[in-house]
Amino acid sequence: MKLLLDFFPILLFFGAFKLYDIYTATGVLMAATVLQMGIAWFSERRLAPMQKATLVLILLFGSLTLLLHDDRFIKWKPTVLYGAMALALAVALWGFKKNFLKMLLGAQLDLPAQIWGRLNVAWIAYCVFMAAINGYVAANFSTEAWVNFKLWGYAFPIVFLVAQGLYISPHLKSDKPAA
């Protein structure tokens, strides 16, 4: 159910774009994201920092797209989001010697410090890659090609998350006592 909720706005955005245009799709994306965050808030009684950032950026860049009737704003929103994430993770890690991933997920995953460090660097690289590839597609291809990239580009996070899971699985500490 959570996975469906996560993909709900992008699927509606894609459908609205195919049936209408980028401006209708942007309005649908904004409304669907507000609904998505409302459901998340009512079920969890809080929004994660990433959810808040996503909501603010979609509403900001979506509003600019609609008010100025310029699709470049919505197309560059993912680049700004991924770039900000990479920058925040990098500054925290190398500037403040803090691992945000461990701070956010340490209660759910018991991993050695070295693995947390590698995961953090992997996330920085992933965010830089995603920002760069979205920026490249947004700058060099049509809006239709960018929308198709947004839909089929979800393969990147899926591959990244599966690879991350395979990487950390041998390092997870078992709750079962040794026999």
What does the block give as tokens for 2?
A: 């959570």
Residues 6 and 60 in one domain: yes
48 lies in the same domain as 114: no
Q: Which domain holds residue 43?
A: 1-67
Q: In terms of Cα–Cα distance, which of 151, 154, 156 is closest to 125?
A: 156
52 and 103 co-located in one domain: no
166 and 146 co-located in one domain: yes
Residue 94 and residue 161 in one domain: yes
115 and 132 belong to one structural domain? yes
Mean pLDDT of the chain, nearest integer: 90
Domain check: are 58 and 75 in the same one? no
**79-128 tens-digit pLDDT:** 999 999 999 999 999 999 999 888 888 778 888 889 999 999 999 999 99
Q: Is residue 178 part of a domain?
A: no
Residue 69: DSSP 8-state:
T
**Cα 129 from Cα 121, distance rounded (Å):** 12
Burial class from Cβ neighbours inside 10 Å (0-12, 13-18, 19+) for residue 36 reads: buried
Please name the residue that has the structure tokens 């078992």. Answer: 174
If one counts the domains in the chain, the total is 2
**pLDDT tens column, 128-170:** 999 999 999 999 999 999 999 988 888 898 899 999 999 988 8
* Structural domain includes residue 179: no
Per-residue pLDDT at 2 exceeds 70: no
Say whether pTM exceeds 0.75. yes
